[in-house]
Chain A
């Protein structure tokens, strides 16, 4: 019960980094432009520091009951207390989480390079055969059955130009020729 939850600490540290950089960054701006960053940032940082301390020394939490901080803030409860899904998120093991996230990253990478029209069917067939264990013929069948309406809706009916990937222009509007928006 008193073990330190390294994962929680990591998340606190991440949020602290964001909050600190914005508050420190605010010093570069003039007058009223810094106001919000300070008024909101300093209490936020305080709370996050408190969370870190509470994680390291759980006993502190008990002292704060008077401030409307409930026992739920104790680290051991945090594990189950997630967003809008009470009763815990019930995600799978970390390994499974990693694999699923890997799929998302892979799908993005494919989209980025080859564009939606290639990435969607390839991703679907890969996911359905490897992850969902469908035999390839079925996977292709599902892909066609689901991918075709997407193509019809987006390309033919709505004419929303979809990202075509960073390859040189191969099939205009379908594969290649996307201009990567500047990041810097």
Chain B
């Protein structure tokens, strides 16, 4: 873990039409760490996550003020394709494309113009290995991705993302569609991936945040109420709202 920020925001405000969804958010994600965002539904944690790869651009009537930095560079100065390649995202519901496993895996490569079959096959193998799917899937790469179990689908989505060599991975409640055992396995995967990637995860599950993350941010009604090392947040939170939430008094 080093101390430079892979992601950061400075007085970030975001509006959906007239709704003020993010209020003066100052936030950092450090390189090669796992940072968790927790908070009750509708507090803006997914919205904040989606700022970093400009997925909010897909929604009409979004207005953003303040700055968002990726590797200390303002994202408005980065071309959106480069940005999304660098800052990958895994969604709440596993979303493999309705094609074969192999086609899912080479989608990103083809999208970025990599046509070399042999090289692509090596990348597919490497990335499937990284998520622990290679042994299980190597003999059925050409079966439909939609026939996999939910956990394997989510792993496949992570592997698919790794093919385009992101530096930062955003995970938007990646385990909410999974059973507890699958959840634990995805968490183990996250900890393995931390060595090479910076991870920002939004989660409803406080135990998950406590288990996997190095830093935790607590959000409430669009504000980042508290941000600190995970051990601090869960043992001695400074803000009474944070304490109220993690002890289950509200949320």
Partners in one complex: no
